[in-house]
């Protein structure tokens, strides 16, 4: 597995195809460095012996030890470890760890390529496994380009005025395919090695050209990445880890871009559009059951420090709010655990989380995110947006006053107090705040998408039957479908054996 | 294991110590029959071969097959099966299955008697195991009398003007103890075989007399049960299962009541007051992760039928509300699963659910219950409280109009429509509605109790540390405490073996 | 104006056309007495010199002093006094004062008959004024029968399988009209003198027969009222005002019922269906801005007593909840005041409240009602559904214990404590509770109806224009439409003159 | 009254005492220009004949026409016009109009100086009226410096380790007083003419030195303003009004600063500390009933444009959310109207809004603000934080793609689409967003402060009495206190006279 340094060295060799603020730039542009720093943490953790088995796994294809981010889960424990790895990394960088998108795309492709092959006799799975083995061996990281520009939301891909509103196949040749269109909101693509392109929605037959999936090097000259980076103000004197991390999203433009056929994983099998889209989405929602609790942990941490700085940490309404963070985080985390326990082994061998539990976990967090910032603000007060700039704490004319008055709780030093409020500012009133608020609602599918998923998947009929029985309309009640449902793994839930060394 | 008929026959032999509406009555009083009908269902399910392993278990003490309600859980799977058993039974009776209180008291006593003995060399655990073996062999059912009358909430037990506001020891003799005081809100005690008495709160040394636990036959002449039964209006023509079920709560009065020493499980070990109270409470909160989803299933079922009767089941805001029931139910259920997975094996051998997950699951449901009724009402409209009585559907003067106008959705017959609205009335506007609303908030501990429990147990310091690291106050971050936490059972989460036949 | 006794005497003379529980009964049926007691309070208050000008007004048609319930508002102050009268009466009876329906129907008819006449040269307004003068002179009370049975909600009146799902004209003769169909959820019709029938929705041309409005004596033999009464358990010893009040709703069946033409106020003018329906609805929503705060006052009062009985009235979370009642009540009351100030003088002379403010006030309360009960329950605890019956406080075997243990706060006597908990039971866990919950959502139009009304009436375009200006799309911003809007009355908002004797 | 140009010219003459980012700067620093632009709008509107009587008023002291911002309200209509003026200005600048702080401080001082004089025979009111007449004649604008740094929240001013945590009197001489300490979060002080300093809380006798109020020129060399400005990214090509506006907050440091006695309005009259603090706070909360609806109007406007750009403006859940903005805005606005109607004439002649209504209005908006941003985000999607920078829309390499793909709704041009999304970015994901979120919670007092105010002022006892009567504990119910309450102005609410020319 690569070290952070090796990852950074790899970036240095990439061909420039990024555009930021009107310029064409390389991977050494300082505006994307904060995102690169996040990615580096994922490599660093995997080097740490302590996190072996959490941040690493045994490849289902090569049998080698690989970075868990490049691993296809094989059993409930893999999913439970994935949740932990994500929470671990996300706590460390103060938010989105960014590498789960690639993981979830790999999961989706491992399953769907097998299912397409089983139906059509195609060879997508073999291609994908070859690609994945290479990807695992080289410990690469991938973005997942799923979200299309979408155009008019009331129209299907093939009905758009501008066909490129969804990425699609222009032409198929013996060597590969040509694709055009625009993907948007593609996090970390600017500093990924690879980009996995997947469809974003269900398709009808007329949309066949839009049913396409493939892998492409992130620095392929055939694409343009127009990048929107987000970063925090640099600190002059009181540096902090939180300030070093950031994120970038790319708008990725394909314009008759060539994809060699060994990298094509779906081409016009429109019936699998929804399946592939949902496999990514539901795997990603399960990932959110690990990452959103970490985002809450960070906001809760900021809340605790702000309360301490105001010396109100024992006030009743403050304590009540503290418990609300715990409520949200642990319900979402529990949803991830239940999704693992009630997941299913697919034909490909990949173990997939239960969609109902993954969706309720993600939806809860998506509904809560603004409320969590609201609570932080209620407890912190107005300083986050009114505190003078760091330089005013350094100017000799103002420094003595700043140092004196910033201390509210006399148990804290000036520097500690200043650090706390600067951190609260970073968390609740910075460019990253807006990114986390909006990504918190929409990343992995907004609450409305989980509502739709629940309305499709949830067994409402079972509840209707309960009511019909109790009302005396039906004479019998069959409860077995749901209540006989068993985890598919682990009779040894009953035997106390040590975990982790099977 | 007993049949429902054997359970009913047992009640017939009990000594009368119930008071209802100013009368002293026996277990044949029709006002408690609806509660007895609920209890009978728990015996019936255990007879059903289909639910073997769900409704039954292998006793940890006798090795015999016993009713799961009388079983002390031994591993995560036991806790997961308990959740299912509760949801199964609760769907069947349309709400509270009532027998979990005894189960949770047994769990608490199995653990705490062992821990007291380990500290003090007492013999409570032996006494308890003897009692439990007899209880299992005879397939009895027990109420748990935990909630005291409590008096002035701002004062401790020993500070109350009236000492009986909490049940306490009056005198200790060689043969046993004498106790006095009043327990309140004790569900199903009127038709239980046994009553397990536990303390309801933490104690200080001065409260030692109030630290007492024991078992007593429910029909002991030394106690008075003043019973508040709840039942639904009987139907004249269109009977339904839901109408046959109900509940009773007892105020139980002890007045120098004698308890023989072999039935005494704690006596003045005040340091264990909080532990025993919390063991019951947290086990019970885990039970709620099975039962509250079933209560939601019933309200959702009523909502689905009402929507159908109004022919609005496809309307957007109706579908949005449907998904909210799913969100709440499955998050709470997931919390129960996670509590099982991250539970712990206690010194007694009993496996105990993780308190954080059990508390967040229970709290969510306690906060949601009124909202769920609100959604049902929004969708059903006003008929639940304005529909004429059943007799007006039978009176020839009005029947033709009733039959004609009750049909809103022409796909439903008059009788189906009438049954649906009568059921909606029963669910949302009956004496049972009030009971479910109030028990939904307070049963098993109200949201404020779970808030308190979270504020004590949750690792806020871990979040504070994350923030201190990210803010640059601390140089290192140790994340291992929580993120290295492992389920204590089941490496075979990684091996696909069939469940249930270990 | 009539005394309560005169009102009761009038009921005694009415022809029996009520059906309750399978029987045909007269106005002396004890099950409707609790509702009659409410109505009597409205007569009693009008006799009280202290409430002159609040409970009484000067008729716009006859110039005589009349009961305000029978008055058509003429200016903002009339609307403000109406709010007070409603809150006054509703506090007195512990909830719905019931007589506002007639008031709001009169308001709607006074306006719409004039508007129809202005368009078509009909003489509805003259008929209505004649009827109203008689009604005011005799101080009668009227129910408003607006809500139809409605049948399939996705279909218009004329599309229903059963045409009587909405009341409609069967035949028009020189003497009058014949009508058929079914109105439902008609509060207080069982003990009203008159019933005013109005359409419940907008109509298209094909629905012309369903566009009909008229007055009919409540005891007309041509109709059947199938009555669903709601009442509280009678007290044996500790009587209370709250227990004496209740409510009834009628399903009113018309079957070729004859209405003489002088009582017909609309007949087939379908274009006015929506207008008349909304005039009633919006006037009624304004009335809710007076009554719902009173309902909150009662629930808050019960909460305060429960907190006192538990001796937790100073606890932080209790005080926070107290303020939530104040927040809801006073926002809704304020909405009523603003609706008065920004109301409009119609062609008929009747002054009509601003629809936006009336709708937001009503919607808020409709969204809050279950939450308010939830807060009461949180603070009161479980006693409301588990406290033994009153007779057990009288039975010598149990009385001493009951009297002793019911006292939690030693500053309260046994009787006071018992009265408080019995009242909390009545408020939060009785048949009236369900009625208030469901009426709280749906009475006067459910939140979804106010949402629809807002979406039609609110000036979204003004906000869109603000955004287009700020975004630089439009160069100019015209803000005058809304911000130049003036109250139509009262330059003397600037002059300190005494109120009430203009 | 001054023109915007005159206001700007005045700033140019001010002495530099601002510190920003480590530098000492003048009023020409570009970082405070966006705030100056806001202030200029308040002068511009007052010049507009159309808004005469809204933006202007007749001085109660000089009888001259003055800018309404400098006017002390005399009657309900003044308060209603103030609400409109604020909503008008706030819509125009897309948010906080900033000048209300000075207005509310003037209101508070006009009343409290009179009350102190009435009690102690001091001459504060005369001094204040002199100052105000000069202020009105010169059409100046003032900041209000109320919020102190506060230090340890659990301690009173005199108990702080550092006495300057609250501004206080160091010394009193015949010529005036010397004051020290630090005020924080003082909006618009950087470009105000004057600063009015008021106490922020109740005082006890030991806090007498902290009970001090006075006026000071904003550019007084005796103070240092350490300024935190907030501004939006400048646009290169597609300029917009919204981008030109911003805000600044000052930390104002007093260090033995001299205040001449004719500018001192309170000095050590500690009993009036709470009164003066609440007069400002409640007047300011009434102002929020005008401004927060405008903030909602802007967010709603952005929501409407985003929905249009996504072509989802007719989707059910979008329309439901739209109505939620209307609900919040109009309830808060209504609270302001009711506060005006039920306000009171104080001894000073100034008319003061009703505190209950002002508090419920402000609290509602403070609780809603994050939720409003949440709704905008739900409807807008992720583009606000992922859209490439404006320069990428200008770079020829990327422009054609940007122009093509930014158009989702084909009815909109590229430029319109781009403007809409850029505006949505400015509103929901900019530095101003954080400022509005946090100011939305805390400006004018956070929800917790209104909760406290309600708990002190609301007549809970009246509700307790209602409950005691209904429960049968008290035999009588006196409802007159609240329900006999009358507006103190305007019998002509009953007479249709034209507004505004009394």
Is D302 in the same domain as D447?
yes
How many CB atoms are located within 10 Å of the residue D403 CB?
15
From the CA of D298, how many Å to the nearest CA of chain A? 18
Q: Which of A240, A480, A486 sits opposite B499 (nearest CB)?
A: A486
Site from C334, C338, C455, C468 to mutate, D interface, most D CB atoms within 10 angstroms: C334
Are D405 and A162 an interchain contact pair (Cβ–Cβ within 8 Å)? yes
Are A441 and D371 an interchain contact pair (Cβ–Cβ within 8 Å)? no
In B137-156, the residues whose Cβ lies within 8 Å of chain C are: 147, 149-154
Is D286 in the same domain as D404?
yes
Are D470 and C338 an interchain contact pair (Cβ–Cβ within 8 Å)? no
- Under the banding of pLDDT at 50, 70 and 90, the label for residue B500 is very low
- Under the banding of pLDDT at 50, 70 and 90, the label for residue B494 is low
Is B335 in the same domain as B415?
yes
User: What are the structure tokens assigned to D307, written together?
Assistant: 């929905």
From the CA of B402, how many Å to the nearest CA of chain C? 9
From the CA of A306, how many Å to the nearest CA of chain C? 21
Q: Has residue C188 been placed in a domain?
A: no
Is B446 in the same domain as B478?
no
* Rounded mean pLDDT, A121-135: 98
Q: Has residue A261 been placed in a domain?
A: no
From the CA of A312, how many Å to the nearest CA of chain C? 14
Is C323 in the same domain as C465?
no
- Whether chain D has a CB inside 8 Å of the CB on C468: the answer is yes
Q: Has residue B225 been placed in a domain?
A: no
How high is the pLDDT of residue A496?
Answer: 52
Give the span between the Cα atoms of A397 and D365, in whole angstroms.
Answer: 39
What residues have CB less than 8 Å from C273, skipping those under 6 apart?
Answer: C199, C201, C202, C203, C207, C210, C211
- Whether chain B has a CB inside 8 Å of the CB on D28: the answer is no
CA proximity to B473, closest of A413, C162, C171, D308: A413
Q: Has residue A170 been placed in a domain?
A: no
Tens-digit pLDDT profile for residues A9-37: 999 999 999 999 999 999 999 999 999 99
- Whether chain D has a CB inside 8 Å of the CB on B319: the answer is no
Contact A112, A120 (CB under 8 A): no
- Whether chain A has a CB inside 8 Å of the CB on B315: the answer is no
- Whether chain B has a CB inside 8 Å of the CB on D386: the answer is no
Tens-digit pLDDT profile for residues B409-462: 999 999 999 999 999 999 999 999 999 999 999 988 888 899 999 999 999 999
Is C298 in the same domain as C446?
yes
How many domains is chain C partitioned into structurally?
2
Separation in Å, CA B212 to CA B145, B197, B207, B215: 12, 8, 10, 11
CA proximity to D46, closest of D142, D145, D110, D136: D136
From the CA of C316, how many Å to the nearest CA of chain A? 6
| Residues in chain B closer than 8 A to C426 (CB atoms) | none
- Whether chain B has a CB inside 8 Å of the CB on D317: the answer is yes
Tens-digit pLDDT profile for residues A298-316: 999 999 999 999 999 999 9
- Whether chain B has a CB inside 8 Å of the CB on D126: the answer is no
Chains that touch D (3 or more CB pairs under 8 A): A, B, C
Q: Which of B21, B153, B394 sits opposite C310 (nearest CB)?
A: B153
State percent of chain D over pLDDT 90. 92
- Whether chain C has a CB inside 8 Å of the CB on B247: the answer is no
Are A312 and D387 an interchain contact pair (Cβ–Cβ within 8 Å)? no
| Residues in chain B closer than 8 A to C149 (CB atoms) | 405, 408
Are A322 and B460 an interchain contact pair (Cβ–Cβ within 8 Å)? yes
How high is the pLDDT of residue B283?
Answer: 97
| Residues in chain D closer than 8 A to A387 (CB atoms) | 228, 251
| Residues in chain B closer than 8 A to C429 (CB atoms) | 431, 434-435, 437-438
Cite the beta strand spans of C281-392 per DSSP E: 344-345, 351-352
Q: How many CA atoms within 13 Å lie on the side-chain side of C397?
A: 16
| Residues in chain D closer than 8 A to B316 (CB atoms) | 316-317
Q: Has residue C24 been placed in a domain?
A: no
Q: Are strands A223-230 and A247-260 parallel, antiparallel or unpaired?
A: antiparallel
Is D306 in the same domain as D332?
yes
| Residues in chain C closer than 8 A to A316 (CB atoms) | 316-317
How high is the pLDDT of residue B179?
Answer: 98
CA proximity to B106, closest of B166, B195, B39: B195
How high is the pLDDT of residue A490?
Answer: 56
Chains that touch B (3 or more CB pairs under 8 A): A, C, D
Give the span between the Cα atoms of A148 and D181, in whole angstroms.
Answer: 56
| Residues in chain A closer than 8 A to C320 (CB atoms) | 317
DSSP per-residue codes, A350-412: -EE--HHHHHHHHHHHHHHHHHHHHHHHHHH-THHHHSPPGGGGTSTTTHHHHHHHT--STTS
The answer to whether the Cα torsion of C19, C23, C29, C31 is positive or negative is negative
Site from D316, D318, D319, D378 to mutate, B interface, most B CB atoms within 10 angstroms: D316
- Whether chain C has a CB inside 8 Å of the CB on D422: the answer is yes
| Residues in chain B closer than 8 A to D378 (CB atoms) | none
Q: Which residues pair with C352 in a beta bridge?
A: C344
pLDDT tens for chain C, 502 residues: list them: 999 999 999 999 999 999 999 999 999 999 999 999 999 999 999 999 999 999 999 999 999 999 999 999 999 989 999 999 999 999 999 999 999 999 999 999 999 999 999 999 999 999 999 999 999 999 999 999 999 999 999 999 999 999 999 999 999 999 999 999 999 999 999 999 999 999 999 999 999 999 999 999 999 999 999 999 999 988 999 999 999 999 999 999 999 999 999 999 999 999 999 999 999 999 999 999 999 999 999 999 999 999 999 999 999 999 999 999 999 999 999 999 999 999 999 999 999 999 999 999 999 999 999 999 999 999 999 999 999 999 999 999 999 999 999 999 999 999 999 999 999 999 999 999 999 999 999 988 888 899 999 999 999 999 999 999 999 999 999 887 777 777 766 545 665 544 444 3
In A62-101, the residues whose Cβ lies within 8 Å of chain B are: 74-78, 80, 84, 87-88, 91-92, 94
Q: Which residues pair with A264 in a beta bridge?
A: A214
Q: Has residue B311 been placed in a domain?
A: yes
Give the span between the Cα atoms of D259 and A194, in whole angstroms.
Answer: 67
Q: Which residue in chain A has the smallest CA separation from D429?
A: A434
| Residues in chain A closer than 8 A to D433 (CB atoms) | 434
| Residues in chain C closer than 8 A to D350 (CB atoms) | none
B255 φ, ψ (degrees, to nearest 5):
-140, 90
Give the span between the Cα atoms of D68 and D76, in whole angstroms.
Answer: 14
Contact B94, B73 (CB under 8 A): no
Are D333 and C338 an interchain contact pair (Cβ–Cβ within 8 Å)? yes
Interface predicted TM-score (ipTM): 0.96
**Domain range spanning residue A421?**
277-456
Give the span between the Cα atoms of C224 and C229, in whole angstroms.
Answer: 15
From the CA of B240, how many Å to the nearest CA of chain C? 19
- Whether chain D has a CB inside 8 Å of the CB on A495: the answer is no
Q: Has residue C256 been placed in a domain?
A: no
Contact D492, C489 (CB under 8 A): yes
B67 pLDDT higher than 70: yes
- Under the banding of pLDDT at 50, 70 and 90, the label for residue A444 is confident
Q: Which of C24, C149, C408 sits opposite B152 (nearest CB)?
A: C408
User: What are the structure tokens assigned to C319, written together?
Assistant: 């005080």
| Residues in chain D closer than 8 A to B320 (CB atoms) | 317
How high is the pLDDT of residue C7?
Answer: 98
* Rounded mean pLDDT, A438-462: 91
User: What are the structure tokens assigned to B263, written together?
Assistant: 């039935």
The answer to whether the Cα torsion of D111, D113, D116, D121 is positive or negative is negative
Tens-digit pLDDT profile for residues A389-406: 999 999 999 999 999 999
Are B164 and C224 an interchain contact pair (Cβ–Cβ within 8 Å)? no
Is D312 in the same domain as D289?
yes
Are B494 and A489 an interchain contact pair (Cβ–Cβ within 8 Å)? yes
- Whether chain B has a CB inside 8 Å of the CB on C253: the answer is yes
Are D486 and C499 an interchain contact pair (Cβ–Cβ within 8 Å)? yes
Give the three-class secondary structure for B32. helix
Is D446 in the same domain as D327?
yes
Q: Which residue in chain D has the smallest CA separation from C500?
A: D491
- Under the banding of pLDDT at 50, 70 and 90, the label for residue B128 is very high
Give the three-class secondary structure for C350. coil
| Residues in chain A closer than 8 A to D385 (CB atoms) | 228, 230, 249, 434-435, 438-439
Is A335 in the same domain as A355?
yes
Is B352 in the same domain as B451?
yes
How high is the pLDDT of residue C502?
Answer: 36
Rounded to two decimals, the pTM is 0.96
Average pLDDT in chain A: 94
Q: Which of B240, B330, B471 sits opposite A356 (nearest CB)?
A: B330
Point out the residues of chain D with pLDDT beneath 50: 491, 497-502
Are A311 and D24 an interchain contact pair (Cβ–Cβ within 8 Å)? no
CATH number at residue B389: 1.20.140.10
| Residues in chain C closer than 8 A to A320 (CB atoms) | 317
| Residues in chain A closer than 8 A to C316 (CB atoms) | 316-317
How high is the pLDDT of residue B491?
Answer: 45
Q: Has residue B300 been placed in a domain?
A: yes
A415 pLDDT higher than 90: yes
Tens-digit pLDDT profile for residues A63-92: 999 999 999 999 998 999 999 999 999 999
DSSP per-residue codes, A319-358: HHHHHHHHHHHHHHHHHHHHHHHT-EE-TTS-EE--HHHH
Is B323 in the same domain as B468?
no
Contact D41, D92 (CB under 8 A): yes
Give the three-class secondary structure for D413. coil
Burial of B184 (0-12, 13-18, 19+ CB in 10 A): buried
User: What are the structure tokens assigned to A116, written together?
Assistant: 């397409």
The answer to whether the Cα torsion of D163, D164, D167, D171 is positive or negative is positive
């Amino acid at each position: 597995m690569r070290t952070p340094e090796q990852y950074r060295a790899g970036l240095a060799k990439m061909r420039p195809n990024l555009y930021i603020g009107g310029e064409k730039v390389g991977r050494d542009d300082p505006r994307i460095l904060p995102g690169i720093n996040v990615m580096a943490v994922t490599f660093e953790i995997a080097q740490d012996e302590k996190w072996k088995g959490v941040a690493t796994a045994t490849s289902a294809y090569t049998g080698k030890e690989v970075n868990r981010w490049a691993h296809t889960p094989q059993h409930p424990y893999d999913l439970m470890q994935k949740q932990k790895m994500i929470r671990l990394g996300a706590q460390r960088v103060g938010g989105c760890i960014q590498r789960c998108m690639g993981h979830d795309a790999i999961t989706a492709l491992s399953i769907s390529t097998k299912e397409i092959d089983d139906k059509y006799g195609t060879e997508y799975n073999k291609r994908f496994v070859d690609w994945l083995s290479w990807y695992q061996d080289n410990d690469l990281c991938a973005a997942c380009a799923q979200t299309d520009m979408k155009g008019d939301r009331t129209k299907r891909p093939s009905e758009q005025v501008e066909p490129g509103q969804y990425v699609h196949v222009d032409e198929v040749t013996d060597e590969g395919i040509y694709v055009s269109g625009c993907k948007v909101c593609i996090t970390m693509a600017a500093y990924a090695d690879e980009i996995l392109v997947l469809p974003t929605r269900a398709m009808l037959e007329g949309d066949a050209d839009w049913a396409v999936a493939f892998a492409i090097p992130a620095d392929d000259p055939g694409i343009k990445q127009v990048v929107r980076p987000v970063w925090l103000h640099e600190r002059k004197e009181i540096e902090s880890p939180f300030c070093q991390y950031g994120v970038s999203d790319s708008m990725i433009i394909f314009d008759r871009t060539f994809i060699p056929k060994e990298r094509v994983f779906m081409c016009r099998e429109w019936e699998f559009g929804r399946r592939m889209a949902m496999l990514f989405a539901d795997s990603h929602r399960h990932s959110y059951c690990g990452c959103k609790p970490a985002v809450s942990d960070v906001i809760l941490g900021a809340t605790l420090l702000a309360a301490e700085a105001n010396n109100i940490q024992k006030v009743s309404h403050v304590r009540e709010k503290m418990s609300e963070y715990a409520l949200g985080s642990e319900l979402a985390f529990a949803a991830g655990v239940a999704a693992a326990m009630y997941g299913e082994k697919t034909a490909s061998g990949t173990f997939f989380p239960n969609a109902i539990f993954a969706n309720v976990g993600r939806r809860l967090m998506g509904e809560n995110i603004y409320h969590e910032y609201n609570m932080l603000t209620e407890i912190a007060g107005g300083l986050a947006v009114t505190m003078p700039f760091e330089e005013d704490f350094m100017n000799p004319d103002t420094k003595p006053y700043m140092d004196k008055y910033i201390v509210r709780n006399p148990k804290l030093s000036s520097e500690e107090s200043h650090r706390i409020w600067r951190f609260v500012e970073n968390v609740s009133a910075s460019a990253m705040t807006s990114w986390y608020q909006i990504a918190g609602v929409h990343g992995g599918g907004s609450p409305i998408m989980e509502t739709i998923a629940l309305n499709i998947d949830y067994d409402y009929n079972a509840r209707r039957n309960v009511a019909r029985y109790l009302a005396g309309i039906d004479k019998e009640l069959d409860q077995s479908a749901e209540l006989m449902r068993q985890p598919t793994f682990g009779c040894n839930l009953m035997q106390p054996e040590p975990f982790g060394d099977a």
